[in-house]
Structure 1
Amino acid sequence: MGIKNSTTTFTQSWGSTQGRLVRVEVLVLFSALIWILVKFFGSRRRRYSQGFFRFFVWVVYTLFTVLGPYTIGLLQDGPFRDQTFVLWGTILLFIQVSVDSLSVYSIHDIEQRKRMLVQHLIQIILVLWLIVNCKGHNKSYTVNIWLFWIQSVILTYTKYQSLSNASKKGGLLKLSKVVADYMMIEHEQIPRDFNPGTMEGYKYIFHGEEQVASLLPTAPEYRVKFTEATRRKYTAIDSVWRWIERESAFNQEAKETLKDVALSFSLFKLLKRRLCGYQIGEAGLAKTLDFVLKGLISERGNYVRAFGVIEMELSFLYDFLYTRFDTEYSSFKGWALCFVIITVIVSNSISGAFSRHYHRSSLEQRVHGIDVTRWVTIVLLIIVCASYLVAAATQDWRWDIVDELHSNERPTWETGLVETSSVKRKAKKSWQRALGQHSLLLNFDYHPRNVLSLLSLGLVDPTREGQKAGETIKLTDELIERVLSRFKKSKGQLQDGQSALAKNQLGSQFSWACTLSTHIHKILVWHVGTTIAMDGHPVPPTGDHRVAKTLSDYCAYLVAFVPDMLPGHGYDTQRIFDAVVVEARESISGCDSLSSRCEKLVMAVLPSNSSCTILELGGRLGRELRGVVPEEQRWKVLADFWAEFILFLAPSSNVEIHTEMLAAGGEFMTHL
């Protein structure tokens, strides 16, 4: 009876007016906390790939999309008609639509933009109903209520506009079609006179394709005709570079930064065609190859710079898909935010929640003499103001820079052109810049417990047998230079590793290991062989030995964790990996150390027919690689092979997996 009476008492108190007030206060503050977490982690999720972190961000984002509407519903349904609670409702509405750094969690959410718009519009109408029926006539509260509501309407529009631009059924398809048609004939405009070092003659679109998108295609190809009048509607990258070079207000370092930003933005527009499946008109042209070999990576010192250009290009793509930084709202955001901050602080300091004579609510709650309702209002306003200040302090000027470069106006303190010093540094920090690692021979006996997957009812994907990741390796300049230098030495011709072996006079000896049935067979056989060849030799922090091991374990990591990034069907790759794990447990079970496992594979007798397993072939390759002496030559051969082979594996038709991984730390393969 005691438990029943306690339950009844709790239910009655929970359903009372004071109980509902407590619920609203807790939910309002919790919604504000979730908003802070979304803003904080939304801008950082592309720097971390850990599964738990991604799950945590997903939980926070899901709570964020649910809590605000639910709390507004409680205010709508309860006796909360006072201006104080209406102010809470408008702040909650503002919170729901004001996150710039995480407009959608997944690229699949982009196509649900109409549903999101309807949900936001319903909340806007509900809050408007609260405003119309609110009680109280405090002018300060009235100003702030309408200010937050109007800002919410504007932000809802900009969010929908941003999602429409990124939608395949909206602006993405429309604008990318213009770029695709244009690039089919771009090389015909300047057939001979072009210089990839200065971008002279490279007429890649930098800005203005939206002005051309309204034109109808004409016969016979039914593409948009790029006449002289049409060309005046857009800006090309070569003219932007010329303007930067002529502008005396920039020093040489600033000019190089601005050129890289402009080039990254143009490449980003070319890259968007891949999302739509359009034909790449410049593919296979000598002019395009010269742009890479004689422009981006024209010399040794340009390898890291070229990789930075690609990092910034992918940062533009990430912002375009997952944030709202590319909207027109961002260009005047600074002034709008300052206006909101000043208005909120000044008006509430005079007669609002910060004043001793603040507007008292008809529903009050005091704990130890403290007016909880008043302090909830104060905390909400402080959180909103602080978030604006933090956003202004951490603003990334890339989008403002491209807008200013398009206008070709002389830089002033109001523009992003004067903030070039932090652009490259922020672009470099935008990505995880680490390579996942996996050692098959070390981790094949890993047996996951999958407790989190069971507790989450499958929301967290279960880990498969043997699927244990090693410690990530920082992406160093040495790795970048080694891979890109192989691309330059091969003059852009992608080789599967045989060229690297031939240049080291070992092509005939290892040709058998380069002609296996699938690329996954080849990755795993060479990974096992590399592991065996390196067994017993400590890996130094730099040099060929480190490069070879890092790239070998990274390719094995892709097989185990991101199979869709590799050639072939991802599910087939997953099945091959699972089968090799079972084979390893059967053939080298009982060997507790990595060295003993390697030795058992080396000493294994191969069957006389061609039915060798991947592990048996890997053991044979490892035994032969050990015969390459001196050791320095062995490490050089392996480093050259993996640097060449990973470039060969990089091209992919699966655009979706690359765009998904942009929001999960980014992958080195995507950059390649």
Structure 2
Amino acid sequence: MAYNLNDVENWKSFQVNHLFKGGLVIYIVLVYGQAVPEYQKPLWAILVVNVLQSFLRIKSMRMASKSNLLSKNVKPIVEYMEREDQLAGNQPVEPGEMEGYRYIVAGEHKPRNYVKRNRIKNASRSLFCSFAGGASRSLNGSFVVIEDPDFLTVDKIWRCKGRLLQPPSERALRLRDVCLSMALCKMINRRFLGCELYEAKLPKTRDFVLKGLLDGDTRYERAFRVIEVELGFVYDLYYTRYPYLYRKVRYFALCLPVTMVILCSWLTYELFREHKDPTNGKNAPLGTTVALMAVVTFLEAFQLYLHMASGWFKVALVRSYVTKYNLQQMGRIRRAIIDLLLRLKTLGPWEGKLGQYSLLQNYNATRRISKCVYYLTLCLVDKDKKGRNRGKLVKLSTQVKKVVIDSLMGTLESGGSLTNGAQSLRNNRVYGKLSWACNLHTVAETILVWHIATTICKHEFDAAPSDQDSGQVSTASSLSQYCAYLIAFVPDLLPGHSFDSAAILDKSIEDARTFAPLQGAKTMEEKCRILMSNSNSSEDLLIIKGARLARELTEAIHDSALRWRVLSEFWAEMLLYVAPCDDSKAQAHLEALARGGEFITHLWALLTHAGVLNRPVNSSEAV
């Protein structure tokens, strides 16, 4: 497994390291194995299997390297998606049933799926295209479309009549969505390499999200589930060996862990046999070796489970099921086995939690523990910056998903633009009074001012919200602290240069530490009360602007429930506003996946599939 993109690109050094260790093990077996000839056969067999496993790891890292991805993985998708809309012809587009969406699930790497033919008219270059299902035909005399049963697209899965994929079974719907996630993974992978997304300008692309993913009563859960699995595939593509096993040695990969378990059992048996023989005069290290073999056996069995529970294995099963008609007519026993395999729970990197940071709570925090760890590890672990203590992670609630999706649907349905919260203020008729807080110089300043105002509103005015308001308070507070967390710890995922965002936060922390009235304040209630009493101050500080905004919020919106609804809608809109980015910053999302992922990455992926690729320069720009 790789831990960051540098590990992937440095696969040659990884290979040299494994060659050195392998040579050392061979030397040990050759020199010291002569004394125990009865153990040499299982030891050599285990060594051979270990070499094969190392080979698979190296090949998977090489496949994930940028040069290989561009030439072999992404190029076929780019060429296909350039013509995908033409391949659909006059077929009606129905996002709910995926009609007209020939997004690739599998089979794009096989050469026979692509036919090269010069244009007959107005041709200056060759075209590559492919098609799944239907008779062979030509489109406008421009290029040839061929049928290949192994070439699998999303619409073909939705048309499959097999019982395994037929709704209303919840299992069938989940399997369909796993395959959809695979197709979306192949599409979004182009952004990491700077390739053009031709489908972004098509109306059906926005409809796919608006009328497909976000349609139905469970749209909040389904949309984020599909995106979560998709980003899990992206993570695997760059950081694990599953893609290589899926494409190259699918069945061989299943055999290696089983073989290793058998060989470890063989070696353990030989140890027991020697240990029980009192005449051989040998003192076999039974306890230590058996414990080691037990650990190796457990790890291999766990690796086997992870492989069989992965989305890649599920897609491979569905691919075989759709393309081979005899599997759709299988008996109960085989169907039960497949059903059992498909029920295995996938372990993904995303935990479904939001990072939290509160400026007013942590601006004066000490860093003693962080400094101790920094020096004890000889500077290997970075120490926290001043005033940047992380808050406790909070679970991504259904209420947060709902308010974010509602905001997105409102924007897509109206055909409007993403704004930094201004539209939510207009919808609630308070924009005129609070518009200044949306027109600050940078996004980071806007986030921090609204974050401080939200914190003050929570602790000063609504310290004990009613049960009816608690959901809105929790939603607004968690989104507010998450946006502040992005500035404090992952500014690369936000608009603008990360250095500028970090500098703005550093200045705000220093201003709070040196602001005279706050000296000696301990509790959050005391800090908020002091800031509110200084909200009319003429000092040009973000903490004062935040206090001023909190005062104006309470003056403009007297009803507590309405105030928190405005704040929750504002933060949902703000998070959607900062999520899009150009391809040059897409690498930051890929790096974030290696650390477990961020909620903003899920929103970035969702907006990409809706055709929203960049953040508007100003609020008048349409997305």
Give your verdict on TM over 0.5. Answer: yes
SS in structure 2 of the partner of residue 209 of structure 1: coil
Q: Distance in 2 between matches of 1:405 and 1:140?
A: 45
Q: Distance in 2 between matches of 1:661 and 1:358?
A: 56
Q: Distance in 2 between matches of 1:540 and 1:359?
A: 77
**How far does residue 404 in structure 1 lie from its aligned partner after superposition?**
2.1
User: Structure 1 residue aligned with 2:290, among 373, 378, 392?
Assistant: 378
Aligned 1:249-648 pairs, distance under 5 A = 252-328=169-245, 329=249, 331-346=251-266, 348-349=268-269, 351-356=270-275, 371=283, 373-393=285-305, 395-407=308-320, 408=322, 409=324, 410=327, 417-419=338-340, 422=343, 426=346, 430-449=349-368, 450-491=371-412, 493-536=417-460, 537=462, 538=464, 542-587=470-515, 588-590=517-519, 591-604=521-534, 606=536, 612-627=540-555, 628-648=557-577
SS in structure 2 of the partner of residue 220 of structure 1: coil
Pick which of 353-362 and 621-630 moved more: 353-362
CA contact (8 A) 2:98 2:155 kept: yes
Q: What 5-or-longer segments of structure 1 have no aligned partner? A: 1-102, 365-370
Deviations 1:576-632 (A, max 9, x none): 100011111222422333233223333336577xx8322222121111011111111
Q: Distance in 2 between matches of 1:642 and 1:172?
A: 37
Q: Which amino acid aligns with 1:124?
A: G
User: Aligned in 2, Cα 1:547/1:312: closer, same or farther, shift over 3 Å?
Assistant: same
SS in structure 2 of the partner of residue 399 of structure 1: helix
Q: Does 1:220 align with 2:124?
A: yes
TM-score by length of 1: 0.76
SS in structure 2 of the partner of residue 200 of structure 1: coil
Q: What 5-or-longer segments of structure 2 have no aligned partner? A: 131-142, 604-623
- Find the counterpart in structure 1 of residue 107 from structure 2: 208
TM-score by length of 2: 0.82
User: Aligned in 2, Cα 1:565/1:613: closer, same or farther, shift over 3 Å?
Assistant: same
Deviations 1:240-279 (A, max 9, x none): 2222666579871221111011001111111211221111
Deviations 1:545-564 (A, max 9, x none): 21111111111111111111
**How far does residue 639 in structure 1 lie from its aligned partner after superposition?**
0.9
Q: Which amino acid aligns with 1:263?
A: L
Percent identity reads: 31
- Find the counterpart in structure 2 of residue 187 from structure 1: 85
**How far does residue 378 in structure 1 lie from its aligned partner after superposition?**
2.5
Q: Distance in 2 between matches of 1:127 and 1:631?
A: 69
CA contact (8 A) 1:140 1:352 kept: no
Q: Distance in 1 between matches of 2:362 and 2:36?
A: 67
Q: Which amino acid aligns with 1:255?
A: A
CA contact (8 A) 1:438 1:468 kept: yes
CA contact (8 A) 2:114 2:128 kept: no
CA contact (8 A) 2:271 2:286 kept: no
User: Aligned in 2, Cα 1:420/1:244: closer, same or farther, shift over 3 Å?
Assistant: farther
Count of residue pairs the alignment pairs up: 558
SS in structure 2 of the partner of residue 462 of structure 1: coil
Q: Distance in 2 between matches of 1:271 and 1:359?
A: 65
**How far does residue 112 in structure 1 lie from its aligned partner after superposition?**
0.9
Q: Distance in 1 between matches of 2:558 and 2:89?
A: 50
User: Aligned in 2, Cα 1:360/1:491: closer, same or farther, shift over 3 Å?
Assistant: farther
**How far does residue 196 in structure 1 lie from its aligned partner after superposition?**
0.8
CA contact (8 A) 2:11 2:58 kept: yes
**How far does residue 330 in structure 1 lie from its aligned partner after superposition?**
5.1
User: Aligned in 2, Cα 1:214/1:156: closer, same or farther, shift over 3 Å?
Assistant: farther
Deviations 1:494-546 (A, max 9, x none): 22211111111112121111111111111011111112222232357852121
> What's the C-alpha RMSD, in Å, of the aligned pairs?
3.0
